[in-house]
Structures are given as C-alpha cells and as structure tokens.
C-alpha cells in the first residue's frame, strides 16, 4: 500500500525531502534555545555580566530568526509536497478510473468512487502533511531534547529515562483500547446515516403509514449506542491529559529534589557542575520531551484513522482494467455486420448465474434488429458485448467479420454507437453535449442529427435554442427529450452500428415511429439494433430476437414470431388488448 502511494510523490520528492530537513533544522534551533537560555542566566544574569547577556541574547535572537526561517521554509515545502501529493493521487485515480472497463466500474459503486476521490484523498493529504512535518518533528525533538538534557546534566537526565517508558506505556494502553471503540463508533455512524438516508428517501412512506414514532425509536436506539460508545472511548482518552500532567509534575518534583542536592554540592558555580540556570533549562526540556510523546500518540491515532482512507484509495489505484487492447489491433471496421457464436456471459462474482447463455445469431450490415424480453432477460447484456463494454465469458462476438477482441478499442467503439438505457447528459449547453458524439461536427450537422432524432423541434422552442444550458444529469429536460438528445448525440458519431437500449421508452409512440422512419430514410446502411418494451417499436424490424432468462427463445420476423413464439404472442396480446401503449 505504502509503495503504491509513494509512487504518487513524483515531482514533489524534493519538497517531501526538504520538509523534514528544514523541520530537523528548526528542531535543532528549538532545542538549542533553552540551552542558551540557561547559559544566559548562569553566565550573564547571575554574575551581572551585561556583555555576556547581550552576547548570549544576541545569539538567541539569531537562533530565533533561523528557527523562524526554517519553520517558514518547512511549512512552505510541506504545503507544496502535500498538495502536490494529493494532486498526483487524484490524478492517478481519475486516470485509472478512465481506464476502467464496465465490469471494473460495476465493482465500485458510483457513490463509493466519489467518496474515494474526494473525502478519502483529503484525509490522505492531511495525513501526508502530518507525516512529513510532525511525525518527523516529534521523534527528533525527543532525541535532541534528550541529548541536550544529558549535556546539561547527565545524572539528572536519568529521571527522564524512568518517566518516559511509564508515560509511553500509559499512552499506548489508552490508544490501543480506545481505537477499537472508535472503529465501532464509525460503524454505528454508518447505521445512523443509513437510517436517516432511508427515512429521507422514504419520507412519503413514513408519513403515509404514520410511522414517525417508529422511525424515531429506530433512530434513538442507534443514537443511544453512539452516545454510549463515544462516551466510553472518550473516558479512556480523558486519561491522556492527566497522565501527561502527572508525568510532567513528577518529573519536575524529582528534578527539584535531586537538582537541589546537586546545586548545593556545586555551590551554584557553573564550573563545578549543576546550577539554578541548568535546573531552569532541564525543566524546560522536560516539557518538550513529554510534550513530544503526547504528540506522537496523537499522530498515531490520526494515522490509524486515515489508514482506512489510504486502503480505499489503493483499491482504486491498484484496480486493473480487465479489458485490454490486443497486441496488434485492427484499426478499421469493415461493415456493420454482427455475429454471435455460442456467446455466454456472467457478471464477475456471479459465475453460477449467467445472464446470457449460448447466444448464436448473425445480423447483416444495414439490417434493423429488434430485441424483446422481460426485465432481467439479458437484453442489455447482449448488446453491451458488441462494442466490447464487457468481454464474453464464452464464445465469440464478431463485428464486421472480425472478433471484437482483435479491434483497437477506440476504433470499435467509434464504429458502434450505443445509447445506454441509463443515459446521462452533462452540464453544459446542448451543443456541447451533442459534440460528445463528434467534436468537429458543424452546427448544420448538429441540427441534422437532431432532426433525425426528432429533437430539433423542441430544442427550437427553448429560448436559447441549441445554446440552452443543460443542468448536471439533464434534470431540466423531460425524460423523452433527454432520450432524444442522447440519440442525436449517438447519431453524430456516424456509426456503422447504432444500438438503442430501451432509448425511446419515454417517447410517445408517434414520435417513436417518426424516429424509426427517419433512420430508415437517412441512415439505411447503418445496422440498427433496438431494444424495446413496446412491440410497436420493433414489429417492422428485419429480425426480432426474443430473450427469456438469458436465452434466445426465438428469432424471426414479426409475422413469423406471431405464429411460432408463445412469449411474443403473449406480449403482443397484452399490449394490443390494453391499447397501443
């Protein structure tokens, strides 16, 4: 995990190294300062030597300026390094997601990808900055302070060696016991969020069934368990500060007692050993030493918390696309013919439940093919194999007489336009959205495509026409309008094969018929594959595939199927009896 993440440092390696370097120098200064403070007292104030006071004082001011400079430099480098690191992590993740195949995307939900790319990265960025700044600073401070303390008086400094392990053990005990409780709290928080989220989504159900009291009870139970866990964790953490204070007060008392003895022995003469100035320095060091330990335990807690984020980021970074370009790809699609030979498919992790079994059929270039079947019959699965959005588990899929696995992916997908069932428009103008199909398309071409898709008419009713701004997700156009815009966008690719996956479900039958007529007249050579719920959408097709539970139940024309296919007859009957819709 750490290795993969450290690959994201790249051009920020220098800053990442300079930061701890400057931090170390800053620490050196901060350790020297109390030492000279002692000297200032001993050699200056005590003996009333003003020259010495100014000399040592001047030196101290220089140290302060240096310390400040190093501090500012380390802060600047830390900011550069951590922001840059986050940038690279985000960049790598986003680029890797772009390389994902559909099955990779299915493995992560959209919501989880968004969290990983946003909140988790920010967590990691903060953790990184903390590592290169404070995680270096604290142990260094500890070591340097100890060294200095020993230099001031090695016998008294032995006190630190007694107190430190005691404090460290105490802190370790608290952290190790509090951490599991916090983990539990986070899980309970998930439950709380779930209850709120389900309540929000189902608020009409809650109100319609008058279940407000029931929901409150559900919420209060979770809320109560968070309260209990949090309090028990925080009661443990409440030991932190007293433990710290106890250690530092104990150290002070011990230093005072033994220090007094040593001072008396030396007669408070610097040359003879211990002085009051040394005692002041030692007490200052004791604060620093114990403080750093406290910091270390805090850093430890925060790092373990961001570990989860790091893990989730790595999952995205290390996810390999399971679709690859072949070694010697084919860069041209000859025509729009399609053939399936014994094709089966099952989604990853669900091998026992194939969504498509042993499909064999051929579509000639320029034909119109309808696909009919119940939800979950495998219609979408079948067509998604054509532009190789997924790889078939068994059998071969050929486009233009060539196995789809042999094509360059971009070449294949440019030749096969697909209007997905769950389609998306992006924020931007209608024009910008349409140009997703073809960036170089002229305005005339855009209008032409929209005419075919029966979208031109309604676009012209908008005050801004083709420059109308589409909200994220296309929420400001109706379902039927969105579908027609998506069809126009796909048409602009001038594909050899056009696949409509239930893309006219929200369009009325008349417009639906107009779209089909426009296709027949304007793009007769393009193979059209249409998935539909309505028999009327497919009855004039050259060929209709009827799917049932992942199998092709029947293939034939409308008339043939009415004769031979029970399912088709049933669907046709249910739709005509109940009107054309």
Partner 1 sequence: MAEGETRRMPPPRGQNFRGVPKQKVKKGTVTRLLRAITQGNWLRLMVVAVCIIVTAAASVAASLFLKTLINDYILPLVKQQTADYRPLFWALCKMAAIYLAGVAAVYLQNRTMAVVAQGVLKKIRNEMFAHMQTLPIKYFDTHTHGDVMSHYTNDADTLRQMISQTVPQTLSSFVTVVAVFVSMVATSWHLTIFVVLFIAFMFFVTGKVAGQSGKYFVKQQSALGDVNGYIEEMMNGQKVVKVFCREDRVKEAFDKKNDALCENTTQANRFANNLGPINNNLGHLQYVLVAILGGLMATRGIGGLNLGAVAAFMQLSRSFVMPINQFSQQLNAVVMALAGAERIFDLMDAAPESDDGYVTLVNAKTENGALTETDEHTGHWAWKHPHGDGTVTYTPLMGEVRLFDVDFAYVEGKTVLHDISLYAEPGQKVAFVGATGAGKTTITNLINRFYDIADGKIRYDGININKIKKNDLRRSLGIVLQDVNLFTGTVKENIRYGNLDATDEQIIDAAKKANAHGFISRLPQGYDTMLTSNGANLSQGQRQLISIARAAVADPPVMILDEATSSIDTRTEALVQKGMDALMKGRTVFVIAHRLSTVQNADVIMVLDHGRIIERGTHDQLIAQGGTYAKLYQGAFELE
Taking CB under 8 A as the criterion, which residues in 75-94 touch partner 1? 75-76, 78-80, 82-84, 86-87, 90-91, 94
Cβ closest to partner 1, residue 103 vs residue 394:
103
Closest CA to 406 of 469, 489, 327: 327
Write the CA distances from 339 to 105, 374, 394, 397, integer angstroms.
26, 23, 14, 6
Binding mask 516-535 for partner 1 (x = CB under 8 A): -----------------x--
Output the smallest distance, CB 426 to partner 1, in A: 6
CA–CA dist 398, 379 (Å, integer): 17
CA–CA dist 493, 183 (Å, integer): 50
Backbone angles phi, psi at 227, to 5 degrees: -55, -50
Among 109, 304, 311, 396, binds partner 1 (CB under 8 A): 109
Stretch that binds partner 1, among 145-153, 195-203, 333-341, 344-352 (CB under 8 A): 195-203
Output the smallest distance, CB 357 to partner 1, in A: 18
- The β-bridge partners of 369 are 529, 543
Footprint on residues 350-369 left by partner 1 (CB under 8 A): none
DSSP 545: E
Residue 64 touches partner 1, criterion: CB under 8 A = yes
Query: Please, which contacts does 237-244 make with residues 24 or more away whose CB atoms are closer than 8 Å?
Result: 237/174, 237/178, 239/170, 239/174, 240/171, 240/174, 240/294, 240/297, 243/167, 243/170, 243/171, 243/174, 244/167, 244/290, 244/294
Residue 110 touches partner 1, criterion: CB under 8 A = yes
Output the smallest distance, CB 123 to partner 1, in A: 6
Among 147, 161, 172, 203, binds partner 1 (CB under 8 A): 203
CA–CA dist 167, 173 (Å, integer): 10
Angle at 56 between CA 51 and CA 266, to 5 degrees: 90
CA–CA dist 34, 28 (Å, integer): 11
Cβ closest to partner 1, residue 264 vs residue 342:
264
Output the smallest distance, CB 379 to partner 1, in A: 10
Binding mask 456-475 for partner 1 (x = CB under 8 A): ----------------xx--
Among 155, 201, 334, 469, binds partner 1 (CB under 8 A): 201
Tell me if residue 46 falls in helix, strand or coil.
Answer: coil
Footprint on residues 406-425 left by partner 1 (CB under 8 A): 409-410, 413-414, 417-418, 420, 422-424
Task: Please state, as a whole number, how many other Cβ atoms lie within 10 Å of the Cβ of residue 178.
Answer: 20
Footprint on residues 364-403 left by partner 1 (CB under 8 A): 374-376, 387, 389
Q: Is the dihedral of CA 425, 431, 434, 435 positive or negative?
A: negative
- The β-bridge partners of 80 are none
Stretch that binds partner 1, among 102-110, 142-150, 332-340, 516-524 (CB under 8 A): 102-110
DSSP 407: B
Binding mask 120-139 for partner 1 (x = CB under 8 A): x-xx-xx--x---x------
Output the smallest distance, CB 9 to partner 1, in A: 13
Stretch that binds partner 1, among 172-180, 324-332, 355-363, 568-576 (CB under 8 A): 568-576
Among 5, 27, 28, 41, binds partner 1 (CB under 8 A): 41
- Helix spans in 202-239 (H): 203-208, 212-237
Question: Cα–chain-centroid distance for residue 337?
Answer: 39
Output the smallest distance, CB 489 to partner 1, in A: 8
Footprint on residues 205-224 left by partner 1 (CB under 8 A): 205-212, 214-216, 219-220, 223-224
Stretch that binds partner 1, among 151-159, 192-200, 392-400, 442-450 (CB under 8 A): 192-200
Among 3, 154, 204, 328, binds partner 1 (CB under 8 A): 204
Number of residues engaging partner 1 in binding (CB under 8 A): 174
Binding mask 262-291 for partner 1 (x = CB under 8 A): -xx--xx-------x--xx--x--------
CA torsion, points 288, 294, 295, 301, in degrees to nearest 10? Answer: 170
Binding mask 301-340 for partner 1 (x = CB under 8 A): ----x--xx-------------------------------
Residue 500 touches partner 1, criterion: CB under 8 A = no
Cβ closest to partner 1, residue 79 vs residue 402:
79
Distance in Å from the first CA to the final CA of the chain: 55
Cβ closest to partner 1, residue 24 vs residue 126:
126
Cβ closest to partner 1, residue 191 vs residue 330:
191
DSSP 352: T
Q: Where are the beta strands (DSSP E) in 334-442?
A: 338-345, 356-363, 368-373, 394-399, 402-403, 416-419, 428-429
Cβ closest to partner 1, residue 82 vs residue 297:
82
Footprint on residues 224-263 left by partner 1 (CB under 8 A): 224, 226-227, 230-231, 234-235, 237-242, 245-246, 249, 252-253, 256-257, 259-261, 263
Cβ closest to partner 1, residue 14 vs residue 231:
231
DSSP 60-97: HHHHHHHHHHHHHHHHHHHHHHHHHHHHHHHHHHHHHH
């Amino acid at each position: 995990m750490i290795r993969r993440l450290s690959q994201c440092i790249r051009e920020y390696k220098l800053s990442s190294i300079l930061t701890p370097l400057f931090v170390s120098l800053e620490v050196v200064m901060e350790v020297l300062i109390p030492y000279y403070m002692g000297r200032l007292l001993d050699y200056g104030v005590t003996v009333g030597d003003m020259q010495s006071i100014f000399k040592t004082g001047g030196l101290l001011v220089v140290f302060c300026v240096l310390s400040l400079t190093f501090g500012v430099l380390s802060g600047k480098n830390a900011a550069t390094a951590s922001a840059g690191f986050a940038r690279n992590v985000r960049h790598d993740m986003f680029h890797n997601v772009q390389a994902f195949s559909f099955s990779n995307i299915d493995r992560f939900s959209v919501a989880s990808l968004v969290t990983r790319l946003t909140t988790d990265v920010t967590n990691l960025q903060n953790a990184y900055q903390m590592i290169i700044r404070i995680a270096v600073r604290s142990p260094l401070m500890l070591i340097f302070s100890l060294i200095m303390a020993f230099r001031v008086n090695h016998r008294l400094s032995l006190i630190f060696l007694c107190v430190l392990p005691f404090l460290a053990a105490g802190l370790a005990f608290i952290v190790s016991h509090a951490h599991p409780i916090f983990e539990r709290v986070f899980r309970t928080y998930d439950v709380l969020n779930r209850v709120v989220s389900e309540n929000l989504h189902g608020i009409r159900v809650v109100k319609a069934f008058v279940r407000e009291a029931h929901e409150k009870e559900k919420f209060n139970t979770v809320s109560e368990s968070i309260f209990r866990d949090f309090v028990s964790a925080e009661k443990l953490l409440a030991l932190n500060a007293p433990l710290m204070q106890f250690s530092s007060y104990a150290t002070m008392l011990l230093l005072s007692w033994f220090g007094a003895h040593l001072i008396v022995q030396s007669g408070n003469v610097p040359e003879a050993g211990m002085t009051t100035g040394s005692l002041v320095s030692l007490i200052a060091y004791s604060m620093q030493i114990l403080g750093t330990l406290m910091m270390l335990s805090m850093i430890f807690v925060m790092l373990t918390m961001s570990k989860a984020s790091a893990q989730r980021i790595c999952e995205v970074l290390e996810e390999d696309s399971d679709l690859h370009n072949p070694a010697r790809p084919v860069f041209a699609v000859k025509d729009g013919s399609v053939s399936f030979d014994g094709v089966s498919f099952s989604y990853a992790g669900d091998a026992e439940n194939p969504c498509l079994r042993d499909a064999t059929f051929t579509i000639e270039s320029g034909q119109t093919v309808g696909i009919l079947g119940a939800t979950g019959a495998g219609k979408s699965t079948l067509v998604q194999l054509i532009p190789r959005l997924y790889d078939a588990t068994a059998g071969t899929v050929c486009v233009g007489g060539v196995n789809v696995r042999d094509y360059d992916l971009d070449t294949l997908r440019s030749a096969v336009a697909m209007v997905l069932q769950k389609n998306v428009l992006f924020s931007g103008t209608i024009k910008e959205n349409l140009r997703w199909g073809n960036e170089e398309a002229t305005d005339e071409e855009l209008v032409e495509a929209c005419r075919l898709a029966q979208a031109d008419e309604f676009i012209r009713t908008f005050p801004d026409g083709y420059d109308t701004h589409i909200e994220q997700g296309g929420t400001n156009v109706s379902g039927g309008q969105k579908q027609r815009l998506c069809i126009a966008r796909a048409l602009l690719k001038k594909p050899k094969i056009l696949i409509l996956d239930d893309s006219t479900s929200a369009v009325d039958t008349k417009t639906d018929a107009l779209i089909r007529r426009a296709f027949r007249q304007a793009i007769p050579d393009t193979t059209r594959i249409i998935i539909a719920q309505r028999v009327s959408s497919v009855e004039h097709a050259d060929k209709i595939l009827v799917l049932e539970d992942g199998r092709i139940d029947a293939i034939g024309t409308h008339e043939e199927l009415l004769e031979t296919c029970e399912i088709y007859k049933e669907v046709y009957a249910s739709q005509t009896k109940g009107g054309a819709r």
